[in-house]
Amino acid sequence: MHKFKTLAYFLVCCSLMYSCSEYQKVLNKGATEEQYKMAVKMYETQNYDKAIRLFEKVTPSYRGKPQMERIEFMVAQSNFNEKNYSIAGFYFNRFTNNFTKSSKKEEAAFLAAYSYKLASPRFSIDPTETNKALDAFQSFINTYPNSDKIIEANKYYAEIRSKLEKKYFEIAKTYYKTADYDLRNYKAAIQAFDNLLEDFLGTKYKEEALYFQLKAAHDFVLKSTDRRKLERIESAVEAHERLQKSFPESIYTEDANAMLATLQIEKTRIDVIAAERETSQNLLKQ
pLDDT single digits (tens) 183-204:
999 999 999 999 999 999 999 9
Predicted confidence band at 21 (pLDDT cuts at 50, 70, 90)? confident
Report d(CA 270, CA 264) in Å as an integer.
10
Helix (H) or strand (E) holding 164: helix 150-177
Q: Report pLDDT for 258.
A: 97
Work out the mean pLDDT of the chain and round it to a whole number: 89
Give Cα separations from 38 to 67, 71, 76 (angstroms).
Answer: 14, 12, 17
Q: Report pLDDT for 271.
A: 87
Quick one: the chain helix, strand, coil %, rounded to 5? 80, 0, 20
Q: How many CB atoms lie within 10 A of CB 105?
A: 19
> What SS3 class is residue 38?
helix
Mean pLDDT for 69-97 is 97
pTM of the entire predicted model = 0.77
Q: Report pLDDT for 121.
A: 72
Q: How many CB atoms lie within 10 A of CB 253?
A: 14
Mean pLDDT for 154-165 is 93
Report d(CA 131, CA 152) in Å as an integer.
18
Residue 285 has pLDDT above 80, yes or no: no
Q: Report pLDDT for 17.
A: 45
Chain-centre distance of CA 120, in angstroms?
Answer: 7
Residue 45 has pLDDT above 80, yes or no: yes
Q: Report pLDDT for 10.
A: 41
Q: Report pLDDT for 106.
A: 98
Report d(CA 266, CA 159) in Å as an integer.
44
More confident residue, 71 or 278: 71
Mean pLDDT for 104-119 is 96
